């Protein structure tokens, strides 16, 4: 009798061991197929899906070996009703236990988009429109949903977003990204404004943002931005106009084709800082932290002019005579082959300095150039 019980116990133990091994095998990662080995398997788990349908989808897509074993695992762990919807990505070789843990924790696939300093709002919308998994809700730069973000004193949503990288999941909206970017910029700008230098001729943080966007477009060298901000403050404090090509170019929109003509420089637009006093009505681009720092902590000096050098930076001058000499040096270094008779459509900084002013007093800086080149 004892031998029968012993045989039965051994058989039962072996059965349990085999069942356990079989169950462990069914929970192990499926064998990788050569054609799909290198790429993770993305799957969309729809809201309201039943556990059985999720398990069947996972098995059909070779994420798990057995839908039944996966359901038994979830029952044993008490997690059958805890799966979360969303888009998931399962690398090949992921065990069923890890698949279940990811579904319960809601570790959905994430994407990211970077809004780049110097971009206009239209460029931001174009980038958002081409971002995978992002739901498009905005039509254009004047979409009413965007205009709702406009703060007091702003004329458009231009420049009201932080230049940064933002993560999102499938189903998030373009407006949602911009709302996050706007909130982040408002908080950042308030911090910079609180730490600003004393005596700046700025009334509001928004004015600081406008000037920072101009500095952003004037130079790509962060080390120069505080000095360029100082040039603009010197002009403002002395009654000069800003005379910034990037603002004028922005005001032309699609009509700008690469060079500024004399007619365009004389054109009356809200952004032509050769024709208007003070700041334009809005920022012209997203700003970087270095541009904000430069505008709110500018370098004090007595420079009123700057022109490109041959190394990607600028030569700064105190007087118009010094500046004209720097322009001449730049012209010689840039292109000795320019013809003696230059067409009217070339940037003024590549021509002889004009003797006639573009407008009546106050006196102005006397050079015009292409975007981000020379002033």
pLDDT, tens only, 89-127: 998 888 988 999 999 999 999 999 999 999 999 999 999
Q: Cβ contacts of residue 43 below 8 Å, gap of 6+?
A: 57, 58, 61, 63, 87, 88, 89, 90
- For residue 31, the model assigns a pLDDT of 62
CA angle 277, 281, 283 (to 5 degrees): 115
pLDDT in tens, 254-268: 899 888 888 999 999
8 Å CB contact between 149 and 314: no
| Below-50 pLDDT ranges, the chain | 7-15, 17-19, 23, 34-36, 337-374
pLDDT of residue 1: 52
Three-state DSSP state, 89: strand
E runs forming strands in 3-109: 41-45, 86-90
Structural domain boundaries of the chain?
39-108, 110-190, 207-350
What is the CA angle 330-335-337, rounded to 5? 140
pLDDT, position 350 = 34
Q: For position 346, what pLDDT does the model report?
A: 32
| CATH architecture entry for 39-108 | 2-Layer Sandwich (3.30)
Q: With contact defined as beta carbons under 8 Å apart, do 43 and 55 qualify?
A: no
Which residues have a Cβ under 8 Å from the Cβ of 98 and sit 6 or more positions away? none
């Amino acid at each position: 009798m004892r031998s029968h019980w012993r045989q039965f116990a051994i058989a039962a133990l072996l059965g349990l061991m085999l069942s356990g091994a079989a169950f462990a095998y069914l929970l192990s990662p499926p064998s990788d197929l050569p054609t799909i080995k290198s790429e993770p398997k993305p799957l969309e788990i729809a809201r309201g899906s039943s556990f059985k349908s999720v398990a069947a989808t996972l098995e059909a897509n070779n994420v798990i070996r057995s839908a039944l074993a996966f359901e038994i695992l979830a029952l044993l762990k008490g997690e059958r009703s805890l799966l979360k919807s969303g888009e998931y990505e399962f690398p090949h070789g992921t065990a069923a236990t890890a698949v279940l843990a990811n579904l319960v924790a809601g570790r959905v696939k994430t994407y990211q988009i970077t809004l780049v300093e110097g971009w206009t709002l239209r460029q931001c919308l174009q980038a958002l429109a081409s971002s995978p998994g992002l739901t498009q809700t905005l039509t254009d730069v004047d979409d009413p949903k965007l205009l709702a973000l406009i703060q007091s004193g702003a004329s458009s949503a231009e420049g009201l977003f932080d230049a940064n990288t933002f993560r999102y999941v499938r189903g998030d909206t373009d407006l949602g990204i911009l709302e996050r970017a706007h909130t982040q910029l408002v908080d950042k700008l308030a911090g910079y404004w609180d730490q600003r230098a004393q005596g700046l001729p700025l009334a509001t943080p928004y004015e600081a943002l406008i000037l920072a966007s101009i500095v952003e477009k004037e130079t790509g060298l962060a080390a120069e931005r505080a000095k360029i901000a100082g040039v603009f403050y010197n002009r403002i404090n002395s009654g000069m106009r800003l005379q910034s090509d990037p603002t004028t170019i922005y005001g032309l929109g699609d009509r700008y084709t690469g060079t500024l003509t004399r007619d365009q420089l004389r054109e009356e637009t809200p952004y032509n800082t050769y024709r208007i006093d003070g700041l334009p009505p809005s920022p012209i681009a997203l700003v970087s932290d270095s541009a904000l720092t430069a505008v709110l902590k500018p370098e004090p000096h007595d420079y009123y002019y700057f022109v490109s050098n041959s190394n990607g930076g600028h030569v700064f001058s105190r007087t118009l005579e010094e500046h004209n000499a720097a322009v001449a040096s730049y012209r010689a270094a840039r292109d000795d082959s320019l013809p003696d008779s230059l067409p009217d459509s070339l940037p003024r900084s590549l021509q002889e300095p004009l003797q006639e002013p573009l407008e009546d007093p106050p006196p102005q800086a006397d050079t015009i150039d292409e975007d981000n080149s020379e002033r």
